[in-house]
Amino acid sequence: MKIPPMTPAPLLRIDDCGLFCEAGGFHVDPWKGVERAVISHGHGDHARWGSQAYLAAAPSVPILKRRLGEEARIEGVPFGERVRLGEVTVSFHPAGHILGSAQVRVERGGEVWVFSGDYKRDADPTCEGFEIVPCHTFITEATFALPIYRWRPAAAEAREVLAWWEGNREAGRASVLFCYALGKAQRILGELARITEGERDRTVFVHGAVEPLNECYRQAGVVMLPTRPVAETTRGQSFAGELVLAPPSAGGSPWMRRFGHAATAFASGWMRVRGTRRRRGVDRGFVISDHADWPDLLRTIAETGAERVLTTHGYSDSLARYLRERGLQAGTLATPFAGEAAD
Amino acid sequence: MKRFATLYEALDRTTSTNEKVAALAAYFGSAPPEDAAWAVWFLTGRRLKRFLPSRLLAGWAMAEAAIPDWLFEESYASVGDLAETISLVLDGRGDRGDPEPAPDLPLSRWMAERLLPLRGLPPEEQRREVTAWWRGLPRWETFVLNKLLTGELRVGVSQTLVERALAQVAGVPPPALAHRLMGTWEPTADFYAGLFSPDTGEEDGARPYPFYLASPLEEPVESLGEPGEWLVEWKWDGIRAQLIRRGGGIHLWSRGEELITERFPELARAALSLLPDGTVLDGEILAFREGRPLPFAVLQRRIGRKKLTEKVLAEAPAAFVAYDLLEHEGRDLRETALATRREILERLLELGRPLFPVSSRVEATAWEEVARARTEARERGVEGLMLKRLSSPYRTGRKRGDWWKWKIDPFTLDAVLVYAQAGHGRRANLFTDYTFAVWSGGELVPVAKAYSGLSDEEIATLDGWIRRHTLQKFGPVRAVEPLQVFELAFEGIALSTRHKSGIAVRFPRIARWRTDKTPDQADTLEGIRRLIEA
């Protein structure tokens, strides 16, 4: 799409607090407390505490309440519904990243900006599928914007997780799989539920940080393997043969001792590179990511029809340079979003 | 190839030693001998002469993947391994599925029919061959092929693990197997079959024994018990070597299992007349003059020469300082106590001087005397002391308990971090290679590079700091704000014309992150120069 002539000030720009929309009087995913925050999704680097009012996609609200507290003023808007804020119209569109994750569309006088938040294009049984939103300016994440990052379908990788779990069960070991508590854990539970449908009971043990988020997903009707918090087991419980999901921060902590000689693995897009896996000291890496890989970043940018692309977090420099060499108007936006932290 | 790639993958997928040995044993138990021979070759870290320059491979990969070179470079910087980077950018070109698989070819045929003949081909034909292979192989096999092509096939298994697995499958004692893997051999089915032959005690005449290596002494020296039970020697700073006098010939091996006989013709000549057949000595080759060692740099200059002229030989006269006797009159003495081996050694080399002195004993009856002797080490041009239990056998590898090295405390200096570069392998994508500078006339002059010494946590913190305080990028190198001070430890220092600072430090590493110091408190070049004179 061509940018209409005589464009006034940019619709979104960086200020001290975040991505600011002056015409609409709000910030998108602000990193400091503001009057009105428009939130793309529930991960901690995007949904921060301290703003006076929050606006988000409706399916995201239960997760945000859990993150920001019941007292936070959070208003949900159904996907696709347009809301008037100041001089602009705002709407949320599925980003396919985690449950309720949204791209934020901002329109004023026929000019459209879209902030992608974090997104992926691959099928995910636990969240709404990504939707292409045509725009003039597309602000895209760039977490995995190098050509070395390409994902296989997550279902294929989930089958590897299952085979690994089975192998450890036969060897009488526990399988501890590190993954982010919000989104990745539920996606793994969802993928495993799909490929083990009709089998024996497969209850998965989970760390205390994971279970409350499982609840949010179950209430939204997402089908996952049954789970049981590790904390609810009695002392001396054997975990041999069991699968345990835990956040990466649990690795190397005293909490791990109860699993004895467990096999360990990490599920993340970063596991595509052997060095990253070896640095983590885990046995296995499963390449499961909730971010777009290199081909999907390029495909998405092309499909939005955007004439100008701004890249944030991750390999934003590389992506912007690559796009410029392809004749697009592209630059970087400096944000503190972490994408998928490597460590 | 598939079988070997699968083995590589299995080794790569576990951090457990037992599982690695099990995977190796399963492979050795089932692979055809001509393939297994190559596997042993690669897994024990042996290399072939390079097939082609790595930069050619990188160039072909960029063209295949249709990406610009700067993007390939960024990818490489992020992965830290060329073979892996290539396999990743080639994965899923166009579509996302695996390529139409080409029929599998055994590893030995890959070597004989494809890789070895590659050397004689002009670049364009090499390119045609290699890209065709890439197109026919799935991701992991492409990676393993690239590892073979770049000659950097490190799998994360030590030679000891390979020996353990082979010994298990062959039913041969591990030391005998270790011995069979020493020295020069060709990766053939016959060689592999030889590994499995019963242990007869008779081994190939030129082959050295596995070296026994000392561990650093970390406990107080008193914890070793009675001083009288220990042999105390100087720790010489030269080339650890084994001298083999068998079958009428002389073979000189370095610890890196390199045959270096031709580098030291005067030693070989002298040994031939001095030693009876059936003798193996363990010792250190040093540049030696008038009973005193010359700096390691002198020896190094000699090793670097293609031609050993009279002048070179005169400038760096070599001696073999003998530590130990491993074989005497054709008999393996390794199970005999050190005290006895040493006695025979001293008798044998009575007339050995000046080229074959026995490493002198540091006479001491109390640990305090030993500690005092250690303080003289630097003055004597040695690295410290060796402590060897007199009742011990000659073991294999770095077994703790009987041999200790007690080095002198290193020199230290405080320097400022000025450049950082991402590491490789496990440290890819993290800034772990640092350049440090000291003051000279109000300017910071780089004096040392260091890669080790920080904890993983410190590395992560420093990595974040570097990213936030980059002044300038030069390709993969970042110039950072000169604010962080580190204490560097190093073993030696010498004047150098090759370095801008005019000095070269030996084995620099980070001792401490001096967060308590500001850059102006770092050392000066003049101060360091004074260390040389001292």
What pLDDT, on a 0 to 100 scale, did the predictor assign at position A12? 95
H helices within chain A, ranges in order? 61-68, 154-170, 184-195, 211-219, 274-280, 294-304, 316-325
Q: How high does pLDDT run on average in chain B?
A: 87
What pLDDT, on a 0 to 100 scale, did the predictor assign at position B426? 66
Cα distance between residue B38 and residue A306, in whole Å: 54
Contacts of A60-65 spanning 24+ positions with Cβ under 8 A:
A60/A99, A60/A100, A60/A101, A60/A102, A61/A100, A62/A216, A62/A219, A62/A220, A63/A98, A63/A99, A63/A100, A63/A182, A63/A213, A63/A216, A64/A39
What pLDDT, on a 0 to 100 scale, did the predictor assign at position B203? 53
What pLDDT, on a 0 to 100 scale, did the predictor assign at position A53? 97
Listed in sequence order, the residues at least 6 apart from B429 whose beta carbon sits closer than 8 Å to its beta carbon are A273, A275, A276, A342, B77, B78, B79, B80, B422
pLDDT tens across B157-203, in order? 878 889 889 999 998 877 778 778 877 789 999 999 988 887 555 55
Cα distance between residue A13 and residue A296, in whole Å: 25
Cα distance between residue A126 and residue A188, in whole Å: 9
Instruction: Determine which of B74, B153, B458, B463 to mutate to test the interface with A (most A C-beta atoms within 10 Å).
Output: B74
Q: Answer whether residue A342 shows pLDDT above 70.
A: no
Section A42-70 average pLDDT: 94
Region class of B37: left (phi > 0), else alpha (psi between -120 and 50), else beta: alpha
- Please indicate whether, in this complex, the C-beta atoms of B460 and A343 are within 8 angstroms of each other: yes
Tell me which residue in A152, A272, A318 faces B74 most closely, judged by beta carbons: A318
Tokens 């990028």, residue? Answer: B473
Pair of tokens at residue B197: 């032959």
Q: Answer whether residue B534 shows pLDDT above 80.
A: no
Give the range among A5-14, A25-34, B228-237 with minimum mean pLDDT.
A5-14
Q: How high does pLDDT run on average in chain A?
A: 92
Q: Answer whether residue B373 shows pLDDT above 60.
A: yes
pTM score: 0.74
Pair of tokens at residue B338: 């050190």
Q: Higher model confidence: residue B256 or residue A91?
A: A91
Q: Answer whether residue B382 shows pLDDT above 90.
A: no
C-alpha distances (whole Å) from B467 to each of A15, A23, A183, A197, B417 are 21, 34, 28, 46, 13
- Going by pLDDT thresholds of 50, 70 and 90, the confidence category of residue A326 is very high
Give the residue numbers in A contacting B (CB under 8 Å), as ranges. 146-150, 152, 263, 272-276, 278-279, 281-284, 295, 315, 318, 321-322, 325, 342-343
- Going by pLDDT thresholds of 50, 70 and 90, the confidence category of residue B72 is very high
3-state secondary structure of A186: helix
Q: Answer whether residue B96 shows pLDDT above 50.
A: no
Q: Answer whether residue B95 shows pLDDT above 60.
A: no
Section B488-512 average pLDDT: 82
Residue closest to B323 by CA, chosen among B269, B283, B379, B367 = B283
Q: Higher model confidence: residue B333 or residue B94?
A: B333
Q: Which amino acid is present at B121?
A: L
C-alpha distances (whole Å) from B279 to each of A78, B120, B247, B257, B286 are 87, 42, 10, 18, 20
Pair of tokens at residue A319: 């992506």
Give the range among A114-118, B14-18, B508-512, B529-533 with minimum mean pLDDT.
B529-533
Cα distance between residue B227 and residue B169, in whole Å: 42
ipTM score assigned to the predicted complex: 0.92
Cα distance between residue A9 and residue A23, in whole Å: 9
B81 contacts in A (CB within 8 Å)?
274-275
Q: Answer whether residue B146 shows pLDDT above 70.
A: yes
Q: Answer whether residue A243 shows pLDDT above 50.
A: yes
Residue closest to A29 by CA, chosen among A93, A103, A89, A81 = A103
Angle of helix A184-195 relative to helix A211-219, nearest 10 degrees, comes to 60
Q: Answer whether residue A29 shows pLDDT above 90.
A: yes
What pLDDT, on a 0 to 100 scale, did the predictor assign at position B98? 54
- Please indicate whether, in this complex, the C-beta atoms of A274 and B84 are within 8 angstroms of each other: yes
